[in-house]
């Protein structure tokens, strides 16, 4: 997979913006992790979860990637249930 498989049609502007930003991180590894998560989950996220995602995508790619693969802990202000969901989602092979 090289990019989003989800259309942004039917999404509100906030979700469209987040979907785009998740697929355009700057590093391919993070595009694939956050982009796939956003494709699968963006339409069902609550307002609070959208706010958490907006904060989380401000974390620099190297720091976020290291936390997602378990090399370093994520700063407490970014860690939470949404981060845990993304980390669990990353661990599953979604191409299978």
Q: Give the pLDDT of residue 71.
A: 93
Residue 1: the pLDDT is 44
Range of the domain at 52: 13-90
Q: Is 29 exposed, middle or buried (0-12, 13-18, 19+ CB in 10 A)?
A: middle
Residues 96 and 92: their CA atoms lie apart, in Å, by: 9
Domain presence at residue 95: no
User: Which uninterrupted H or E stretch holds 94?
Assistant: none
Q: How many distinct structural domains can be found in the chain?
A: 1
Does 96 fall in a domain? no
pLDDT of res. 69: 92
How far apart (Å, rounded) are the C-alpha atoms in residues 29 and 42?
Answer: 19
- Give me the pLDDT at residue 96, please: 40
Query: Within its chain, how far is the Cα of 87 from the centroid?
Result: 9
Q: What is the mean pLDDT of each run of 10 residues along the chain (96 residues)?
A: 61 92 93 94 95 96 94 93 94 60
SS3 4: coil
């Amino acid at each position: 997979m090289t990019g989003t498989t989800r259309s942004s049609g039917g999404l509100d502007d906030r979700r469209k913006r987040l979907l785009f930003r998740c697929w355009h991180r700057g590093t391919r590894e993070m595009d694939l992790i956050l982009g796939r998560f956003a494709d699968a989950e963006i339409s069902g996220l609550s307002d609070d979860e959208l706010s958490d995602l907006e904060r989380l995508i401000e974390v620099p790619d190297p720091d976020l990637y290291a936390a997602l693969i378990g090399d370093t802990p994520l700063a407490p202000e970014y860690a939470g249930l949404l981060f845990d969901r993304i980390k669990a989602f990353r661990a599953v092979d979604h191409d299978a």
